Structure 1
Amino acid sequence: MTSLPTVAEYMADVTTDKVIAAELLNDRHDPAKVAFTCIDANLNAVDLTYGELRERSEKVASALSKLGVKPGDHVATLMSKSADMLATLLGIWRLGAVEVPLFTAFAWPAIELRLTASAAKVVVVDADQRTKIQDTAATVVISGSASEYDDAAQVPEDLSLEALVAQEEPGFPAFAGTKDTPLVLIFTSGTTGHPKGVPVPIFALAAFRQYIEASLDVRDEDVFWNAADPGWALGLYYGVLGAMVSGKRNLFLRAGFDAKTCFAVMEKFKVTNFLSAPTMYRSLRAAGIPEGSNFSLRRASSAGEPLTPEVSVWSKEHLGSEVLDQYGQTELGMFIVNAWADELARDARPLSMGHALPGFKCEVLENESDVIAAPNQPGRVAVNVPESPLAWFHGYKDAPERTAQRFSADGKWYYTGDAGRRDEDGYFYFQSRDDDIILMAGYRIGPFDVESALATHPAVQESAVVGEPDEIRGEVVVAYVVLSNGHEGSDALTDELKKHVKSEYSAHAYPRRVVYVESLPKTPSGKIQRFVLREQAK
């Protein structure tokens, strides 16, 4: 059995005087080794080697530099999983620039917020996403041919990624930074305000690599498939950055999720190590195993929302592996886990998210103080920062007040914002968010974003958005709406409001149910009491 690296060994690569992200992620690996297998909707596949990715990304870096992008500048990507996306991401990091991920289900207001907050110089957009981009100061670069898409915009000022790259030669020198050099600016979901920008430094690669190797137990011989979207933390941190820094191949499927496709990918490509949100497992369970299927699964893991025990039991019987639950956040990645690697593995307990990974010291604090709670006493999940050498989050971009809310005054504790407990054997259990985030299908949806979109509809006087339990998705968005004078609730208006949120915010976060009410529960100071509505929605 090969021993896992120590925390110090994971950190060694990212704490030298000069740290080259492109070297850690790509250039140190065997150029003939497959980095990604890119799969289209028809399950046709093309392998992309580290050598090919290096050459393509060097050309992208050169092209971006000629557009005026410098180290430290922000470049946004509105792209689906493809070889172009991978070359673009690595090109950004090779240049020393900072990637701003944009989820492809976002509508223009959500995109605009992120472009404006990051001051992105360039946005690289798939051709079929171009119509979403409106007035922006960023230079727009198109990936793919607009002629392939009936609804793609034809804008004379747009630049073609293919044409730009064709003019370049490989050999662009990789930027050398430090452990604090940012790679990514990713935005969290908003609760009572706009989404917060989380700078992800090169140092975070140490924690990402540890999770891939120690928690997921991805080995060189594995066929690894992280099914999460790189527009969000789980997909970007562990489908791209973590996979690359550890030199492990990942499947990159460019297709929307459905159970039939998922089963087909697992079987055709002989997936042995699978990571996804519990929603996907529940959807597979609901669909039923296709007759005659033959799977090769060795490890199955879930993250993004709590895992219920029956899913793991079903997966063990039908897919070949139980599912182990993992816990993390945009701000820290995964850090409390049920680990698969032999050196860290312990018997999983129903509903438990496991133990802290090495390099993280976690506790449950009392609700009203920073005193460690007694075993099985409900409290607040927190990270002891001085005793957590792999903790990499130090604050939100341009948001000192919101950063201060996350840390104790003495800097000792990082508050996760989640309520939980810890049993007498050290197993952690998730109980609830202590804010208003909705966990749906692995996505973290802030009610503020949905409420802001609803507020722009003339029929809506005010609204409050909460999560409602759902058997497949974990939670779904429910909107409680107070109508403006002259408007009445109806099925037609409900459909209109759903479409409105899709167009004004995001196609993934629209309310599955709209409840029309005379008034919303509020505190004496006028704040909406969403917890009252959550109780009604149960």
Structure 2
Amino acid sequence: MPKLTDYTSYADAQRHWSPQKLWDLFDGTRERLNIAHECIDRHAGDPDRVAIIVAHADGRDEILTYRQIADESSRFAHYLAAQGIEPGDRVAIMLEPSRAFYSTLFGVMKTGAIAVPLFTLFGPDGIRLRVQDCSPKLLLTNDDKIGVVEQTPGLRCLVVNDSFLAGLSRYDAHYPTRSRADDLAIFQYTSGTTRELPDAIKHTHKALVTLMVAALYGTGLRPGDRYFCPSSPAWGHGLWHGTLAPLALGLTIGAFSGKFNASRLLRALSEHRFTNMSAAATHYRMIRNSPDARAHSYSIQKLSFTGEPIDGATETFIEELFGTQVCSMYGTTEIGVILVSYPGAEDFPVKHGALGKPIPGGVVEVQDADGKVCPPGVVGEMKVLRRGKWIATKDLGRTDEDGYFYHAGRADDVIISAGWTMSAVEIEDAILKHPDVLEAAAIGVPDELRGQVVKAFVIAKRPGDEQLKQEIQDTVRSRLSQHEYPRHIAFVSELPKTPAGKIHRKKLREQEVRNSLPEAEHTIP
């Protein structure tokens, strides 16, 4: 009986997809399923089968087999049980991709406890807020971070290093999983600031099944792929799309550990012959700016991106570098992936700048303020139909005559100037067309005459003088319209970003508000 992984075309995706066929990809049932078993243990029969290649920022490669992770995660599960960790308890994991991270992540889920990945660059406030929210019985970290972690009072911490892992050898290398499909498995925090705690998205073990829609049609995963995702597994893209989905299909995957470096990533892609990559738009921009981009040969056949739109210049460069089109995958942590470009489907034309079309079985619309469908070309809010109700994405978008969707920015990233509605995303894309611009962000700032005008923050290759400012303004005028150019431009050395690498426009807006206040109002007593 053919499985969904046997089909690659867009037509077959629409014809053969069904919820039941997703379940056919797993050992588990609608009643009993465990993520650790599905992702690791069932692929561990061959002791030499490589699961993960970790490219460390310092140049090391760490190669981990399915058997190694299966055995060590089982031993760690026994250790947790001996420490009194029970099903439903939360265990926070603040580790970079490594043998320690994967052994503990899957060991936690084997016991029926709930894994809570935490970003390793969180400071004391970021840790404290999340710990207060999810109340973990234990937090796992490394030698470098233990001093920061221990600043949270009452938190039970454990350093997981090589000596600790060696000590697990006294435990049994088999752990029987008993979780139900509806049991909670993972708490996933979205990438907000440390002062504004996002809600934890609570995932059950069966979320892995739903995830496979995005895996098959958003990243184009198929048996035999060698797949790299450089996003941190502390966030949704790196954990679900970069780790759990491909491991559930038994693939060899690549992960990046440490401070991201595009040259290091490119070397790993070349040396280990990765054929499929999914990354954030920021990663692709850094690849474009890397002096080593053309120094290697690559085996890439499928590319995808998510997180935020990719600018046209970067999109063109990446496609020329790797010899294949880069496909958008759009969704949010809360609602999942809803729009894809079907990587690997030869009968699906990928349009530059488009988010793609709905996943198989999905219904997505662009609606106006009254909930009516917007005609092609008209901007409205993108919404998805779930269980008979329309769920707002909080993103603006439009469609074209062929049914492709396009991003028009976050609902709060709209700039309204003199009655004109402008998209920060489109303005940024136009600014990035200038050959001396490396990164750009656009926001609306108050203006007495027009209500708002566009202010751009630009990182440039050359000094930011009046000449460059005029060139950038002319570039935008020529590509968009006369009223959409940035009337104010600030040249900066860096842009604020969320931990997941997205440009943090909200921080820029808050910064502008603070700068506009009288000096006495900057500090609140």
TM-score by length of 2: 0.74
Partner of 1:202: 205
Partner of 2:11: none
CA RMSD of aligned residues (A): 3.3
Partner of 1:293: 296
Structure 1 residue identity aligned to 2:87: P
SS at match of 1:75: strand
Partner of 1:385: 386
Q: In the alignment, is the contact (CA less than 8 A) between 1:11 and 1:203 conserved in 2?
A: no
Q: 1:217 aligns with which of 216, 220, 228?
A: 220
Distance 1:360 1:181, change over 3 A: farther
Distance 1:121 1:210 in 2: 33
Partner of 1:249: 252
Structure 2 residue identity aligned to 1:19: L
Q: 1:417 aligns with which of 387, 391, 394?
A: 394
Runs of 5+ unmatched residues, structure 2: 9-15, 415-427, 447-492, 519-525
Distance 1:129 1:476, change over 3 A: farther
Partner of 1:356: 358
Partner of 2:30: 16
Partner of 1:450: none
Overall identity of the aligned pairs, in %: 26
Q: 2:54 aligns with which of 26, 38, 55?
A: 38
Q: Does 1:433 align with 2:410?
A: yes
Q: In the alignment, is the contact (CA less than 8 A) between 2:399 and 2:405 conserved in 1?
A: yes
The CA deviation string for residues 90-127 of structure 1, in whole angstroms up to 9 with x for no partner, is 00111111111111111111111111111111110021
Distance 2:68 2:83 in 1: 23
The CA deviation string for residues 15-39 of structure 1, in whole angstroms up to 9 with x for no partner, is 5222233322222224322211233
Q: CA deviation at 1:172?
A: 1.9
Q: In the alignment, is the contact (CA less than 8 A) between 2:227 and 2:277 conserved in 1?
A: yes
Q: 2:41 aligns with which of 3, 27, 35?
A: 27
Distance 1:473 1:97 in 2: 42
Q: 1:325 aligns with which of 324, 328, 347?
A: 328
Q: 2:517 aligns with which of 516, 519, 522?
A: 519
Distance 2:279 2:499 in 1: 21
TM-score by length of 1: 0.72
Q: CA deviation at 1:262?
A: 1.9
Distance 1:31 1:40, change over 3 A: farther
Distance 1:379 1:289 in 2: 41
Partner of 1:347: 349
Structure 1 residue identity aligned to 2:35: A
Q: Structure 1 stretch 234-243 or stretch 37-46: which is displaced more?
A: 37-46
Runs of 5+ unmatched residues, structure 1: 146-159, 387-410, 438-466, 481-497, 521-538
Partner of 1:306: 309
Partner of 2:173: 170
Q: 1:258 aligns with which of 253, 258, 261?
A: 261
Q: CA deviation at 1:320?
A: 2.1
Matches within 5 A, 1:388-399: none
Distance 1:473 1:132, change over 3 A: farther
Partner of 2:280: 277
Partner of 1:141: 158
Q: In the alignment, is the contact (CA less than 8 A) between 2:377 and 2:398 conserved in 1?
A: yes
Q: CA deviation at 1:312?
A: 2.4
Distance 2:271 2:180 in 1: 41
Q: In the alignment, is the contact (CA less than 8 A) between 2:55 and 2:257 conserved in 1?
A: yes
Question: 4+ residue runs of structure 1 moved beyond 6 angstroms?
Answer: 467-470, 476-480, 505-513
Structure 2 residue identity aligned to 1:285: R
Q: In the alignment, is the contact (CA less than 8 A) between 1:308 and 1:350 conserved in 2?
A: no
Distance 2:131 2:206 in 1: 24
Q: Structure 1 stretch 250-259 or stretch 184-193: which is displaced more?
A: 184-193
Distance 1:57 1:220 in 2: 24
Q: In the alignment, is the contact (CA less than 8 A) between 1:144 and 1:162 conserved in 2?
A: yes
Distance 1:476 1:78, change over 3 A: farther
Q: In the alignment, is the contact (CA less than 8 A) between 2:222 and 2:249 conserved in 1?
A: no
Q: Structure 1 stretch 369-378 or stretch 331-340: which is displaced more?
A: 369-378
Partner of 1:110: 126
Q: Does 1:6 align with 2:17?
A: yes
Distance 1:350 1:3, change over 3 A: closer
Alignment length (residue pairs): 430
Q: In the alignment, is the contact (CA less than 8 A) between 1:185 and 1:198 conserved in 2?
A: yes
Name which structure has the greater RCO, CA cutoff 8 Å, separation 6+: 1
Distance 1:310 1:377 in 2: 25
Structure 1 residue identity aligned to 2:379: P
Partner of 2:71: 55
